[in-house]
Amino acid sequence: MNFTSKKLLAAALMAGVLPVAQAADIRLGVAEALSGGAAQYGQSIRRGFELAASEINAAGGINGDKVVLVVEDEQGRKEEAINVFKKLIFQDKVLMVFGPTLSNSAQAAHPIAQAAKTVAFGTSNTADGITSIGDYVFRNSVTEADVLPATLDTVRRNAGVKNVAVLYGNDDVFTKSGYDNFKKALDDQKIPVTTTETFAKGDVDFKAQLTKIKGTNPDAVVLSALLAEGAPIMVQARQVGLNVPFIGGNGMNSVKIFELASGTASNNLWIGSPWSIENKAPENTKFIDAFRAKYNISPDQFAAQAYDAMYIVADALKGIKLSGDLAADRTALRDALPKVSLTGATGAFKFRQAMGRNGKPAGYDAEQAPIVSVTKDGKYVIVK
């Protein structure tokens, strides 16, 4: 400090003027698939986080502190997700980590956060068992186990479906979990299955499976797939004359389907989710308008869930006083999150605690009611 600075500080102290405290940064990790096969989800998720964070900061931040997102590309790969989580938690010393994008990656990376007593918050992981990893694991993406039975029941009642064929990816945690939950729902609702076919991630030709399915004359096809395989499956199904409804899981709920399966190929896809672009609730309309204004494109379910997740964490943080002790602050956030309930773009939200692999209470799942929609001429239409 030079002589002039000392004189100014002394004058300020004599006048009783204390230095103004500077707002701190609240550093939150974002680990998403920004490249690779899952980038269509990860990029949308990133936009949802960035929109919410910009709104929160513009409104004064969290108790006067600014939200800073530390974003890393985990490429949709388990190994990279582990590396990114380690970097964010131990090197960047973020308060918590959002992500990763896929359930496969979450099952690999979330144990890192649990061991480090750092909140891992999934916004797109819906496979079974993720929140059973431990009590620092949260998600606001509604599980396939919660959504798929309601979706099936709605299709059965509205489209007169009496039997189905099943097609699923058998080498991915998410698509395999989707199949397991579809199978249980089909058994519970006593809907016969004409045939069950499989594919692997990266496959591009599905006509053999689809031709076999067509030969069994199903009323609909149950499809557990990510968009990379699911969109071409729908295109090729129409090419072989399989024009029945498709019933998809979380991985098929994206406006990208209208680009990847253009024209009438995307028609008659039934999906269930707490979020719909056609939901006219004021919270959702505000989100959609803000997203379109910022990015000049329409949002999808994954952007909406990320947007709401940022506000869920902000709500929890507003109720605690950050001490600067990272370990203590991470635990304080973990303790505050289960108390949050709010209404956002995806509707009314609260957490429910999951059971761990040891039979004891563990992490936290979303408690939300699904909306069932069907695609028609480039739009999702809500079905009652």
Task: Return the CATH number at 229.
Answer: 3.40.50.2300
Note the pLDDT tens digit of each residue in 106-148: 999 999 999 999 999 999 999 999 999 999 999 999 998 899 9
pLDDT of residue 23: 61
Does residue 13 belong to any structural domain of this protein?
A: no
Structure tokens at 93: 């010393």
267 and 284 co-located in one domain: no
165 and 208 co-located in one domain: yes
Output phi, psi for 214, to 5 deg. -60, -35
203 and 266 co-located in one domain: yes
| Domains contained in the chain, number | 2
Last residue of a domain, one of 233, 253, 273: 273
Q: Three-state DSSP class for 62?
A: strand
Instruction: Give whole-number Cα distances, 224 to 134, 144, 249, in Å.
Output: 27, 10, 6
132 and 201 co-located in one domain: no
247 and 149 co-located in one domain: yes
Last residue of a domain, one of 219, 242, 273: 273
Does residue 302 belong to any structural domain of this protein?
A: yes
288 and 328 co-located in one domain: yes
Last residue of a domain, one of 273, 302, 319: 273
130 and 179 co-located in one domain: no
268 and 166 co-located in one domain: yes
Those residues with Cβ within 8 angstroms of residue 359's Cβ, 6 or more apart along the chain or in another chain:
none
Phi-psi region of 308 (alpha: psi -120 to 50; beta: other; left: phi over 0): alpha
Query: What are the respective helix, strand and coil percentages of the chain, to the nearest 5?
Result: 45, 20, 35
Q: What angle in degrees, to the nearest 10, is found between the helix axes of 301-318 and 326-336?
A: 110
* Strands 220-224 and 193-199, bridge-based pairing: unpaired
**Where is 26: in which H helix or E strand?**
strand 25-32
**Where is 236: in which H helix or E strand?**
helix 227-239
pLDDT of residue 357: 77
228 and 322 co-located in one domain: no
pLDDT of residue 93: 98
pLDDT of residue 131: 97
pLDDT of residue 12: 46
Does residue 8 belong to any structural domain of this protein?
A: no
Does residue 373 belong to any structural domain of this protein?
A: no
Q: In the beta sheet, which residues pair with residue 380?
A: 375
Q: In terms of DSSP H, where are the helices of 160-206?
A: 173-188
Angle at 168 between CA 164 and CA 172, to 5 degrees: 155
Low-confidence ranges of the chain (pLDDT < 50): 1-21
57 and 114 co-located in one domain: yes
Does residue 323 belong to any structural domain of this protein?
A: yes
CA-to-CA distance for 284 and 133, rounded, in angstroms? 31
216 and 292 co-located in one domain: no
Q: What 8-state DSSP symbol labels residue 205?
A: -
215 and 298 co-located in one domain: no
pLDDT of residue 8: 47
pLDDT of residue 297: 94
Those residues with Cβ within 8 angstroms of residue 6's Cβ, 6 or more apart along the chain or in another chain:
none
Q: Three-state DSSP class for 254?
A: coil
Domain that holds residue 138: 25-142+280-368
Structure tokens at 286: 């505000």
CA-to-CA distance for 167 and 309, rounded, in angstroms? 31
Burial of 169 (0-12, 13-18, 19+ CB in 10 A): buried
Does residue 5 belong to any structural domain of this protein?
A: no
Does residue 374 belong to any structural domain of this protein?
A: no
CA-to-CA distance for 152 and 248, rounded, in angstroms? 9
Does residue 43 belong to any structural domain of this protein?
A: yes
CA-to-CA distance for 257 and 279, rounded, in angstroms? 19
